[in-house]
Structure 1
Amino acid sequence: MNKSIFLAFLFIQNILFAQSSERSLSAEKWQFKNSEEKNWLPAKIPGTVHSDLISNKIIPDPFKDENEKKVQWIENEDWDYQTVFKVSAKEWENQNIDLVFNGLDTFSEIYLNGKLLQKTDNMFRTWNIPVKQYLKSGENILQVKFRSAVNTGKELAKKVSFTVPESPRSFVRKAQYHFGWDWGPRLVTAGIWKDVQLNFWNNARIENIKVEQKSLTKQKAGLNIQTEIIAEKEGKYVFSINGKPNNIQLKRGKNNIQLPFVIENPKLWQPNGWGEPNMYDLKISLQENSKILSDKALRIGLRTIELVQEKDLKGKSFYFKINGNPLYIKGTNWIPADSFSPGIAKEKYQKLIKDSKEAHMNMIRVWGGGIYEADEFYKACDENGILVWQDFMFAGSFYPSDNEFLDNVKEEVKDQVNRLQNHPSIALWCGNNEVDEAIVNWGYQKQFKYSKEDSLQVWEDYKKVFHELIPNTLNENVTADKNIYWPSSPSIGWGHKESLTEGDSHYWGVWWGEQPFEIYNEKVARFMSEYGFQGMPTLETTKSMFSGKPDLNLQNPTIKAHEKHARGWQIIDEYMKRDYKIPTDFVKYNYLSQLLQARGMKIAIEAHRRAKPYNMGTLYWQLNDCWPVVSWSSIDYLGNWKALHYQIKRSFESQVVLTEEKEGILNFYAINDDLKKFRDVHVDIQVTKFNGEIADEISTVPDGKILEGIIRFDPVETENLIPDLSKNEVFLKLSLKDETGKIITQNNYFFSKPKDLKLIKPNLQIRKISPTEIEVSTDVLAKDVYLIGDTHFSDNFFDLLPKASRKIRLSKPLEKVEVLSLWDTMQE
């Protein structure tokens, strides 16, 4: 080795030694036990007590059979975790050693070598503890003793003079869905649910970084890098941003440093559908005497975002303006992707977000009864141009406001917003899910016989948390360009007329109110942040509910147990009776339940989009599941697309042509969500019989009232279009064309409900093109073609027009693909 190489090697070694470092303790040999027992069992960190009990074959898998009932005892027990680790001689040389728990679920005591270090009471907080003085040069014993969240919550509830609904979950700062929901099991977990590590550092460390966007033009982006630094000693240091050094003076203790940084000729982060979500890397380091003490790496996006609420003749607008342009929001609601969230792989996050992008979504609402999601979720949203409506973790109940609770929530909010605010995907912070709604509309005060003072106290508690504490904490911790706050979703309950004229709306007249799907055409709000309908999961996921051979029967106790809504089956049957002929065959019932769900959401989304720009957002409930279940999801627990997700992909296309039939008049609309506007367009309409015969053809042109992103065409009287034909024997084939005759988009419109259609038996043929591609063809209309097989089909549950074919890609080869259509369900 020559001298220059040797000196360079020494220099690099010096930097590496001086730099702060982290060491995960999750990989150590952890053990756990019931606190009342003596025998320790192996545990996996991150994890939950349930997953550890499953791994040790102490309990059965609660996702299978009716096993959920068999594991309820776990929530009432206390659980202990421990590991033994050593600190190396080199690690000892560091001035500071911090023990960091990124997530403890929920009430625990942390002991190191028998010394009580910390009591915890919040699943959503990070616990950072200086521990060098408590460590030994030999073996160190780290213990975490968890107390039952249910029992502790009950004790906390006793401090309140009136009965609080959903007690004890309201008193416990942990994921509210763990206590059971109408789509999820009751599995009240405990455990070390995020990584635990030792952090080693010397002299000073970077604690937190906020990137404020001060200005943004085509020429440059002016940033303000706000950094919190903890210093052990005062002195001169060098703070570098992407290699550009800045000399700074630090005092002992906490320092807040602000430095400007410019990006020339910036490329914007654009939401899905508008362009690329361009990102920039920021590498930030703190140095002393050429030694790197601490460094951080960030990926940021440059964009502007506004929530526009302006009074108009009909109420008040509610829409997002991104990079100066109004964005029609198309998206969904997100629940945790597993009841045991440590088990959610990065690949699952990436797939669910990519599936959302493929379905033309541009926003996901993180629902307030789950968790602040893993970094991988927000990273995936950043990379795929998906905006995030971020609820804080409060849902559908009353919450206390004593000082201890408020202090706890304040630290929770600080931890989470400091972690998340630099993500360009974060669009809005929302105080809670349906807490205002629960207080005003759900009748709890009457049910629990509240006094006037009790009711006033509930409202005072609410205001303290959601109108004072959270927004004030945001103001203190979030840069101005990233601080859009909305106290509660919805802002007004769906039973009140104002819910349709201002704010955001959760419309549950369909499903909960059992109103027909067609009511969606009337109940259109300014921003629809929740609405939905249940459908069964795919056959593959339904079979996964069983530990043994599946018994696919609607009366099977296992299948009944995987429907968590008290009246779910009855509601599905009632709606199915309205629109379809209910089959006795299980496979056909499963197929129709998915079609029913997709049909309801299609009607809703088309009504919302036709109302643009009065309505500027539609977020259906819900994208995903936390276990195998009959639910509102469009993608089931195993990641399979239900009929709904295929329909969402069609309904959310950037450009669509839609039909509305009202009082004997057919109205046609062209919707365009692209930045590039429509130019001279018209709609060609073919009246087509189910056998393929064209009964009539006409064209219609814009009626002159062209609004931003939506064109209404000259209406047509239904009788004039199909004078001698039955509505249940024809459909309209719509083609939106430009001035050259090029087809922009197409759609079909059926006049009758599915059960009333006089369908002809289709001769469906499947031709294998390659191991992963097939072609499906038909002689007559094949309505709702359903391809069955353990693979992902590029399209499914689609209408195949007479004498047409469609090529379909498969995610993996199949020996045989089975096929059904709606006609098959009408023959029983």
Structure 2
Amino acid sequence: MTFAVLAFLGFGASNTASISSKENRSPPFIACNGGAGRVAVRKAQYHWGWDWGPILMTAGPWRPVWLEMYHARVADLWAQLELDRNLQAATGTVHARVEGKVDFVTFALTLRGEVIWQNVVRVENDCASVETYLEKPQLWYPHGYGSQPLYELSAEISTDDITLDKVTKHIGLRRSELVQNNDCHGKSFYFRVNGVDVFCGGNCWIPADNFIPRITKDKYRKWLQMMVDGGQVMTRVWGGGVFEEEIFYDLCDELGILVWQDFMFACASYPVWPEFLDSVREEATQNLRRLRHHSSIVMFAGSNEDYQVRESFGLEYDFNDKDPSSWLKTNYPARYIFEYLLPLIMAQELPNVPYWPSSPYSEGKPTSDPLTGDIHQWNVFESLGGRFVGEFGMEEFPHIQTIRYFVESSSELHPQSHTFDFHNKADGHERRMATYLVENFKTTANLEAYIHLTQLIQSEALMYAYRRWRKEWGGNRKCGGALWQMNDVWLCTSWAIVDYFLRKKPAYYTISRCLAPIAIGIQRQHHEWSVSHARPANNLLFSVWIVSNKTKKFIADVKLRFISVDTGKEVRNTIIRKGVTTLENGTTEVLSGVIDTRSGEPLVLAARISIDGVCLSRDTDWPQPFKYLSSNDRGVIITTIGLVFEERDGVLLSDNALDIVPGDEQIVEAKGLQTASKSLSWLYLCQED
């Protein structure tokens, strides 16, 4: 994410020798977002403030603290199991570490109440271990690719027929890989689960509140169910927050959401004095032991954007130097944490899960390199990308109900008010937001219409990005996934697609359609109006394609219509392709052509895919910029962009943020809307104030 900078030199003369640079200086503390002092404190980094959140400092334990007294206990339980290549058997070892005087541990594995195996194992050196073989196991898949069976693994200790302690953990059996192969585009970066390549459309998860104990189990379930409902298959637990609550990972296991888990370092250059490294070692070890049984976790990454900070400040880094002790003598000693210490702990505690030094990271190349590793792309999504987009986004306002909650004075209820600006922590947001609007839309003084335009900007930007990057998944896996900000920590303008009160913004629905199991895409060639001084292009190329995550081919029909934005009439013959055979788990190019724009009549291209007459997906492409389109309200909606129904608490919409063209009926179901309730309000582009 974009950042502001604060920095000061490291402190502690007694620590200088072990980490001094060539000039015998202490390495600088550098923090982008928040005060630089945060880098020396192992607590949630976002509490110092971020470009989407306020400075709200907390202190003290936020999770329960209790005193246990015991004769003996199961201190840890874990399984190191691996599926063979053909997925027909799981082999490995189950371990239990015990404290206290006890001779035996009883292990058991059950599935849906049925005992799969049970073993009594002698304790030696405070540990009991048993090798196991499981034939034809039931496999855990991400949602949309299969089911999520969870085995129950237990370890029990007893004496004189009295149970002293019993620990139970739920595990899913799956074979997960990070695929990095040299190919025609550079080096791939995508995930494969149980032999199936998975396009990881999903989100970056920040803590859902500045005060974490306020996030209830019910709220966690609503957030995560929202991901599944929106077709999101991966969430990245971002490195400036916390290792999340157990319920978070339990729900990801249950719902089939893949988890990319950052270690808790973000946007900074961290110190490496011995006591700090000891703290990091203990923190990483404890959290790996706590989380290693979760089948949903398929990746650990060392940090968020720390290597971008290194680049921005020109800190020393020689990728070819493989001596960790020498890294401690540079002015970027934090490399020791990300490329030596954390990988070492991963190898000891969780050897079967991939580790990546940071996000973004490109193995010795600049972090902006699009040919290898993952990338954070905050520029022109339509023309730029990478092998895996770990972050991207576009700012917009929250819903009017949310705004009215934090704007108390009517005199402050306008977009440029002090209160509005205070609730946007992004650097330069006033200029950026104004530029987005002026370049694309006719601006308005009506607050709700203004909010609608900012949300439409986000919706269109993310749609363009996702439409393109999922297309590039294709048959050669040029782009392995893309993640954006899902949620907010407070009431604010931000990059999130769902606001603090769990109110979905239009982009949520737009992305959901892009991530559908089968989705059609259409796009015309981009024409840069600002360069051509508002002169239209004579001809523009267009193309239509189908993307699918289905592991089998299917046959469908495709229809493409050319419709006048002004009249709603078709101005060219409809193109129909019947019996199109799609590629499995990839992209199928359907047709392409040229639009003659010399008549000056704005055309919307409307494509849909159907099987046996049932529409599976639709997409539209509109002439841009939208500000040049007619704003005449003809009393009925003929064609329009971004028809957005009100998000009302307690009402669940099946779809929203629709593009409307004549002859294409779309039905939106509203669950929870009472018969006597007031009808949902709506807004659409070019609607009069």
2:548–2:584: 8 Å Cα contact kept in structure 1? Answer: no
**3-state SS in 2 of match to 1:332:** strand
Q: Which residue of 2 aligns with 1:500?
A: 370
Q: Which residue of 2 aligns with 1:487?
A: 357
How many Å apart are 1:197 and its aligned residue?
1.2
* Paired residue type of 1:563: N
- Inter-partner Cα distance in structure 1 for 2:363 and 2:458: 23
* Paired residue type of 1:688: I
Can you list the C-alpha shifts for 1:157-187, whole angstroms capped at 9, x where unaligned?
9966343112211111111101110000011
Can you list the C-alpha shifts for 1:92-111, whole angstroms capped at 9, x where unaligned?
xxxxxxxxxxxxxxxxxxxx
Q: Which residue of 1 aligns with 2:644?
A: 786
* Aligned residue among 398, 406, 417 for 1:537: 398
**3-state SS in 1 of match to 2:401:** helix
Q: Which residue of 1 aligns with 2:147?
A: 276
Identity value in percent: 28
Q: Which residue of 2 aligns with 1:126?
A: none
Q: Tell me whether 1:178 sits opposite 2:47 in the alignment.
A: yes
How many Å apart are 1:357 and its aligned residue?
0.6
- Inter-partner Cα distance in structure 1 for 2:595 and 2:463: 22
- After TM superposition, the structure 1 stretch with the greater mean CA deviation from structure 2, 284-293 or 191-200, is 284-293
* Paired residue type of 2:264: M
Alignment CA distance shift 1:651-1:158 (3 Å): farther
1:304–1:323: 8 Å Cα contact kept in structure 2? Answer: yes
Q: Which residue of 1 aligns with 2:669?
A: 808
2:74–2:155: 8 Å Cα contact kept in structure 1? Answer: no
- Inter-partner Cα distance in structure 2 for 1:788 and 1:812: 12
Can you list the C-alpha shifts for 1:8-63, whole angstroms capped at 9, x where unaligned?
xxxxxxxxxxxxxxxxxxxxxxxxxxxxxxxxxxxxxxxxxxxxxxxxxxxxxxxx
* Aligned residue among 539, 542, 546 for 1:666: 542
1:364–1:619: 8 Å Cα contact kept in structure 2? Answer: no
1:319–1:327: 8 Å Cα contact kept in structure 2? Answer: yes
How many Å apart are 1:624 and its aligned residue?
0.2
* Paired residue type of 2:81: Q
Alignment CA distance shift 1:156-1:269 (3 Å): farther
- Inter-partner Cα distance in structure 2 for 1:275 and 1:707: 16
* Aligned residue among 564, 571, 575 for 1:689: 564
* Aligned residue among 620, 629, 633 for 1:757: 629
* Paired residue type of 1:214: E
**TM-score under structure 2 length normalisation:** 0.85
Alignment CA distance shift 1:364-1:805 (3 Å): closer
1:305–1:320: 8 Å Cα contact kept in structure 2? Answer: yes
- Inter-partner Cα distance in structure 2 for 1:682 and 1:524: 30
Q: Which residue of 2 aligns with 1:633?
A: 496
* Aligned residue among 727, 731, 744 for 2:604: 731
- Inter-partner Cα distance in structure 1 for 2:340 and 2:366: 25
Can you list the C-alpha shifts for 1:190-210, whole angstroms capped at 9, x where unaligned?
0221001122321x3111111
Q: Tell me whether 1:246 sits opposite 2:109 in the alignment.
A: no
Alignment CA distance shift 1:747-1:369 (3 Å): same
Taking the TM superposition and a 5 Å limit, the aligned residue runs for 1:19-30 are none
Q: Tell me whether 1:582 sits opposite 2:443 in the alignment.
A: yes
How many Å apart are 1:731 and its aligned residue?
1.2
- Inter-partner Cα distance in structure 2 for 1:375 and 1:238: 25
Q: Which residue of 1 aligns with 2:220?
A: 349
Q: Which residue of 2 aligns with 1:514?
A: none
How many Å apart are 1:701 and its aligned residue?
7.6
How many Å apart are 1:211 and its aligned residue?
1.6
- Inter-partner Cα distance in structure 2 for 1:762 and 1:643: 24
Taking the TM superposition and a 5 Å limit, the aligned residue runs for 1:256-655 are 256-263=127-134, 265-442=136-313, 457-458=329-330, 461-478=333-350, 480-481=351-352, 483-492=353-362, 496=366, 499-509=369-379, 519-546=380-407, 551-612=412-473, 613-655=476-518
Q: Give the alignment's Cα RMSD to 1 decimal.
A: 3.0
1:316–1:502: 8 Å Cα contact kept in structure 2? Answer: yes
- After TM superposition, the structure 1 stretch with the greater mean CA deviation from structure 2, 214-223 or 581-590, is 214-223
* Paired residue type of 1:689: S
Alignment CA distance shift 1:541-1:158 (3 Å): farther
- Inter-partner Cα distance in structure 1 for 2:282 and 2:270: 16
RCO higher in structure (CA 8 A, sep ≥6) = 2
* Aligned residue among 188, 198, 202 for 2:67: 198
Alignment CA distance shift 1:246-1:269 (3 Å): closer
How many Å apart are 1:617 and its aligned residue?
3.0
Taking the TM superposition and a 5 Å limit, the aligned residue runs for 1:27-106 are none
Alignment CA distance shift 1:713-1:159 (3 Å): same
How many Å apart are 1:683 and its aligned residue?
2.5
* Paired residue type of 1:758: S
**3-state SS in 2 of match to 1:276:** coil
1:437–1:493: 8 Å Cα contact kept in structure 2? Answer: no
1:363–1:389: 8 Å Cα contact kept in structure 2? Answer: yes
- Inter-partner Cα distance in structure 1 for 2:669 and 2:580: 38
Q: Which residue of 2 aligns with 1:165?
A: 30
Can you list the C-alpha shifts for 1:478-511, whole angstroms capped at 9, x where unaligned?
1x33x210001101499959621111010122xx
**3-state SS in 1 of match to 2:68:** strand
- Inter-partner Cα distance in structure 1 for 2:109 and 2:584: 46
2:553–2:583: 8 Å Cα contact kept in structure 1? Answer: no
Taking the TM superposition and a 5 Å limit, the aligned residue runs for 1:765-776 are none
Alignment CA distance shift 1:237-1:281 (3 Å): closer
Alignment CA distance shift 1:743-1:643 (3 Å): closer
Can you list the C-alpha shifts for 1:559-600, whole angstroms capped at 9, x where unaligned?
211010121121011011111111111111111111111111
How many Å apart are 1:526 and its aligned residue?
0.8
2:540–2:594: 8 Å Cα contact kept in structure 1? Answer: yes
User: Which ranges in structure 2 are unaligned for 5 or more consecutive residues?
Assistant: 1-5, 17-25, 317-325, 526-538
* Paired residue type of 1:669: W
**TM-score under structure 1 length normalisation:** 0.72
- Inter-partner Cα distance in structure 2 for 1:324 and 1:172: 41
* Paired residue type of 2:562: V
How many Å apart are 1:381 and its aligned residue?
1.0
**3-state SS in 2 of match to 1:822:** coil
**3-state SS in 1 of match to 2:66:** strand
* Paired residue type of 1:802: P
Alignment CA distance shift 1:237-1:674 (3 Å): closer
Can you list the C-alpha shifts for 1:637-674, whole angstroms capped at 9, x where unaligned?
11100111121111211211112323732121111112
**3-state SS in 1 of match to 2:224:** helix
Q: Tell me whether 1:798 sits opposite 2:673 in the alignment.
A: no
- Inter-partner Cα distance in structure 1 for 2:214 and 2:614: 49
- Inter-partner Cα distance in structure 2 for 1:177 and 1:286: 42
* Paired residue type of 2:520: V
- Inter-partner Cα distance in structure 1 for 2:134 and 2:364: 46
- Inter-partner Cα distance in structure 2 for 1:761 and 1:285: 72
How many Å apart are 1:238 and its aligned residue?
4.4
User: Which ranges in structure 1 are unaligned for 5 or more consecutive residues?
Assistant: 1-149, 446-453, 510-518, 764-777
Alignment CA distance shift 1:748-1:298 (3 Å): same
- Inter-partner Cα distance in structure 1 for 2:138 and 2:411: 53
